[in-house]
Amino acid sequence: MSGLRLAVHGVTFRYNAATILDGATFEAGSGDFLAIIGPNGSGKSTLLRCMSRTLKPLRGSILLDERDLQSLAPVEVAKRLAVVPQDSEFGLEFSVEEAVLMGRQPHLARFQPEGPRDWEAAHAAMARTGILHLSERSISRLSGGEKQRAMIARALAQEPDVLLLDEPTSHLDLKYQVEILDLLAHLNRDKGLTVIAAIHDLNLAAQYFHRFILLSEGKILALGGVEEVLTPVNLKRAFGDRVTLSRHPVYQYPLITASPAPGEECSTDAGGGRGKLVFVTGGARSGKSVFAERYARQSGKRVIYVATAEAYDGEMARRIEEHRRRRPAGWTTVEEPLWLAPVIRRDGDAGTLLLVDCLTMLISNHLLARAGTGGEELGSPARQAEIFGKIMAYLQETAVATRDSRADVVVVSNEVGMGLVPETPLGRLYRDLVGKANQEFAALADEAFVLFSGLPFKLR
């Protein structure tokens, strides 16, 4: 691995008439820890798929140690280069051990059974990723973070020189995002593995990766270290005027935030301006609702509690009642399972704090109303895209309403990367909606908190 060289020369790729990549050129060497960043649709995943030989470029070449990937046999490429895709599905009920052993296929002849060397490599990969104790569990029973570790273990079982990952933190709780990136940093630092990942979270990328490729409209806008790539000029060109660059107050790494449009900043006038938007998230039973309620009590403002949950079964009725008993007697409760934006506009007066608990239940209610309780209305991919677009448009409108309200608004939301969402069209659509909605609200928030085991961590 000491002489590894991966060279991308003038790679262009098109889907039908649309140019997705346009002349991408760069090199990666042994021990690189490289992030591919850029807006949605900028070509990040397409570049990775060209590098993994999943897609064939229209023009240009990709060389691995001076040899064109397209001229190499697939098994030869798989021995040097492993891929962790954004979504990995298994049609059958495989155990974790069986799934990881699949990474040994490049080293086996056709119909050759796994030998002691293959079992050793698979167990070493599971131990390295911290999932050896899960070896007998069904892959479908894993949490989001555990499943991602299993997919990385499968890739490591190939014993590659290069690890390519497409959005390795997508759909994961912040806790699992950090765990996955810690693991990748360890593999890069201590094992010398070259790691190249497409990643959408600029702040996480800035904390971990050493080199960056910034894509915009299919072209490489900048290439280099964090200080060379994450500059105000580059961020403005790639993401627009509403992205601002600052420094983390403790660690001093770049901190990228989305700012309000001109003229919509929070006013300091006593009689006008907008209130403060606070976004609170965390996994199941993380204490996020308790924290949000304490935040509201300590504000000293009149509190309106906006309840989005409906008692569709006995367990939900019990949880709703538990929340109701916990609220102070002086709070006003508004029950609104679907249409949050009108409530924000109607009740969002200065001197008021609106506590919305929770955003994910609102999303669930919208999705079930449109898709049916079993997803029977989803039908074709086009229908799924239509439903996603309509719900997302309303959530974006709602996010803007919370930001522009004269009241302070505290929005509580779940992270959904913990494996509790079933791998069905309905489940995947719900997960994608929650993930995108969380990004929208967090980007507009004045303050953002994530809860771990009852402990709040302020992100902004």
Place 184 in a pLDDT band, splitting at 50, 70 and 90.
Answer: very high
Phi–psi pair at 158, nearest 5 degrees? -70, -15
Cα 75 to Cα 79, 119, 285, 417: the distances in Å are 6, 19, 45, 32
Residue among 345, 344, 364 at smallest CA distance from 355: 344
Kindly state whether residue 409 falls inside one of the protein's structural domains.
yes
Q: Which pTM value belongs to this model?
A: 0.58
The yes-or-no verdict on residue 1 having pLDDT over 50 is no
pLDDT of residue 213: 97
Kindly state whether residue 283 falls inside one of the protein's structural domains.
yes
Contact status, residue 344 vs residue 409, Cβ threshold 8 Å: yes
The yes-or-no verdict on residue 391 having pLDDT over 60 is yes
Summarize pLDDT for 34-91 with one digit per residue, the tens.
Answer: 999 998 888 898 999 999 988 899 999 999 999 999 999 989 999 999 999 876 665 5
> Does residue 185 sit in the same domain as residue 297?
no
> Does residue 93 sit in the same domain as residue 156?
yes
> Does residue 54 sit in the same domain as residue 202?
yes
Kindly state whether residue 432 falls inside one of the protein's structural domains.
yes
> Does residue 176 sit in the same domain as residue 305?
no
What's the 3-state SS for the chain? Answer: CCCCEEEEEEEEEEECCEEEEEEEEEEEECCCEEEEECCCCCCHHHHHHHHCCCCCCCEEEEEECCEEHHHCCHHHHHHHEEEECCCCCCCCCCEHHHHHHHHHHHHCCCCCCCCHHHHHHHHHHHHHCCCHHHCCCEHHHCCHHHHHHHHHHHHHHCCCCEEEEECCCCCCCHHHHHHHHHHHHHHHHHHCCEEEEECCCHHHHHHHCCEEEEEECCEEEEEECHHHHCCHHHHHHHHCCCEEEEECCCCCCEEEEECCCCCCCCCCCCCCCCCCEEEEEECCCCCHHHHHHHHHHHCCCEEEEEECCCCCCHHHHHHHHHHHHHCCCCCEEEECCCCHHHHHHHHCCCCEEEEEECHHHHHHHHHHHHHCCCCCCCCCHHHHHHHHHHHHHHHHHHHHHHHHCCCEEEEEEECCCCCCCCCCHHHHHHHHHHHHHHHHHHHHCCEEEEEECCEEEECC
Angle at 364 between CA 358 and CA 366, to 5 degrees: 105
376, with CB counted inside 10 A (0-12, 13-18, 19+), is exposed
Rounded Cα–Cα distance for residues 150 and 134 (Å): 9
Question: Mean pLDDT over residues 311-317, rounded?
Answer: 63
pLDDT of residue 269: 40
Kindly state whether residue 253 falls inside one of the protein's structural domains.
no
Place 385 in a pLDDT band, splitting at 50, 70 and 90.
Answer: confident
> Does residue 225 sit in the same domain as residue 86?
yes
> Does residue 302 sit in the same domain as residue 442?
yes
> Does residue 231 sit in the same domain as residue 284?
no
Domain end, chosen from 188, 223, 240, is at 240
Domain end, chosen from 240, 264, 292, is at 240
- Pick 343 or 323 by higher pLDDT: 343
pLDDT of residue 442: 86
> Does residue 54 sit in the same domain as residue 114?
yes
The yes-or-no verdict on residue 294 having pLDDT over 60 is yes
> Does residue 32 sit in the same domain as residue 114?
yes
> Does residue 228 sit in the same domain as residue 310?
no
Domain end, chosen from 240, 266, 295, is at 240
Place 357 in a pLDDT band, splitting at 50, 70 and 90.
Answer: confident
CB neighbours (10 Å) of residue 336?
16
The yes-or-no verdict on residue 267 having pLDDT over 50 is no
Kindly state whether residue 246 falls inside one of the protein's structural domains.
no
> Does residue 354 sit in the same domain as residue 422?
yes
> Does residue 172 sit in the same domain as residue 286?
no
Specify the range with the lowest mean pLDDT, choosing from 282-286, 317-321, 440-444: 317-321
Place 190 in a pLDDT band, splitting at 50, 70 and 90.
Answer: confident
Kindly state whether residue 270 falls inside one of the protein's structural domains.
no
pLDDT of residue 260: 56
pLDDT of residue 111: 81
The domain total for the chain is: 2
Q: Which domain holds residue 24?
A: 5-240
Kindly state whether residue 264 falls inside one of the protein's structural domains.
no
Kindly state whether residue 408 falls inside one of the protein's structural domains.
yes
Question: Mean pLDDT over residues 100-107, rounded?
Answer: 91
CATH number at residue 162: 3.40.50.300
